[in-house]
């Protein structure tokens, strides 16, 4: 059973456009929601993360929007660049205890020049 | 340089031939974990370890073993590999407490014929 559902599976965006990736979860105990970025041949790396006490977090061109009541969160990439082409994973965890991350299925983003 | 190192990076083996994928981290992290990445399924946790001699099952532990005899090392053992274990494997580590960043190795691509 997938604890975090992610869509779309793949996304093609023109350079300068906005990329939007969505995730949804069921477990209301989750209290940490990171996004990881993975380039071909590399391991995933933390991109940005949010906790449920805020509705939005922005770092440069990357923004997480969080809707606690809907149990959804999304990644927005503004002014998308070819260098942003990668696979993006959302994830969720409970910060107490083992704090294991549950990952979404991934979105392959291609930004066309 | 802070890193998680996995070996081998690529391996082709045959059904039933025991193999070990090594993982070592130089960040003095207490927590280490193994994931497998499959198309359409994202990253799924195999095993994790909260500290030396403390290991526990993740979501997909069947067919795998781990050990944590030293803080820096967390090998993944496939006693009798089967074709359904053909996958891309990632080792990761982080500090034990809180929702810290998970640092991934570069992956080990395993093919079982």
Q: Which residues does residue B51 pair with via DSSP β-bridges, in sequence order?
A: B54
pLDDT at A29 exceeding the cut of 70: yes
Find, among B100, B110, B113, the residue nearest to B36 by Cα: B110
Number of A:B CB contacts under 8 A?
58
Mean pLDDT confidence for A16-28 = 97
Chain B CB contacts of A9 under 8 Å are 40
Distance CA B3, CA B1 (A): 6
DSSP string covering A4-41, please? Answer: EEEE-SEEEEETTS-EEEEEEE--TT--BEEEEEE-TT
Cα–Cα distances in angstroms (integers) from residue A31 to residues A54, B35, B59, B74, B75, in the given order: 11, 21, 20, 27, 30
Question: Residue B52: what pLDDT?
Answer: 94
Is there a contact between A103 and B107 if contact means CB atoms under 8 Å apart?
A: no
B107 → chain A, closest CA residue: A43
pLDDT class of A98 with cuts at 50, 70, 90: confident
Q: Compute, in degrees rounded to 10, the torsion defined by CA atoms B84, B94, A56, A36.
A: -40
Cα–Cα distances in angstroms (integers) from residue B36 to residues A15, A103, B76, in the given order: 32, 11, 11
Q: Tokens 């130089």 belong to which residue? A: B26
> Which one of A2, A98, A105 has the shortest CB-CB distance to B48?
A98
Question: Residue A74: what pLDDT?
Answer: 98
Shortest distance, CA B60 to any CA of chain A (angstroms): 11
Question: Residue B97: what pLDDT?
Answer: 66
- Centroid of chain to Cα A14: 19
Is there a contact between A99 and B98 if contact means CB atoms under 8 Å apart?
A: yes
pLDDT class of A97 with cuts at 50, 70, 90: confident
pLDDT at A28 exceeding the cut of 80: yes
List chain B pLDDT tens, one digit each, 113 residues. Answer: 889 999 999 999 999 999 999 999 999 999 999 999 999 999 999 999 999 999 999 999 999 999 999 999 999 999 999 999 999 999 999 987 666 889 999 999 999 99
Shortest distance, CA B9 to any CA of chain A (angstroms): 10
Distance CA A80, CA A84 (A): 7
Cα–Cα distances in angstroms (integers) from residue A9 to residues A6, A21, A29, A41, in the given order: 7, 9, 26, 19
Distance CA B112, CA B36 (A): 14
CB A9 within 8 A of CB A54: no
Question: Residue B98: what pLDDT?
Answer: 62
């Amino acid at each position: 059973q997938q604890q975090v559902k992610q869509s779309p599976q793949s996304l093609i965006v023109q350079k300068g456009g906005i990329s939007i990736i969505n995730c949804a979860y069921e477990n209301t105990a989750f209290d940490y929601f990171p996004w990881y970025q993975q380039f071909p041949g590399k391991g995933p790396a933390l991109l940005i993360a949010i906790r449920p006490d805020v509705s939005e977090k922005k770092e440069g061109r990357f923004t997480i929007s969080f809707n606690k009541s809907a149990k959804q969160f999304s990644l927005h990439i503004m002014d998308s660049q070819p260098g942003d082409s990668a696979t993006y994973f959302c994830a969720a965890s409970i910060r107490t205890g083992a704090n294991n991350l549950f990952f979404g299925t991934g979105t392959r983003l291609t930004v066309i020049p | 340089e802070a890193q998680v190192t996995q070996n081998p990076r690529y391996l082709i083996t045959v059904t039933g031939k025991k193999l070990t994928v090594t993982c070592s981290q130089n960040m003095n992290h207490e927590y280490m974990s193994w994931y497998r990445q499959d198309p359409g399924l994202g990253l799924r946790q195999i095993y994790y370890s909260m500290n030396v001699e403390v290991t526990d099952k993740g979501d997909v532990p069947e067919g795998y073993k781990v050990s944590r005899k030293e803080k820096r090392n967390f090998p993944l053992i496939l006693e009798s590999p089967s074709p359904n274990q053909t996958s891309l494997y990632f080792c990761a580590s982080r500090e034990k407490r809180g929702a810290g960043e998970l640092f991934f190795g570069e992956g080990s691509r395993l093919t079982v014929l």
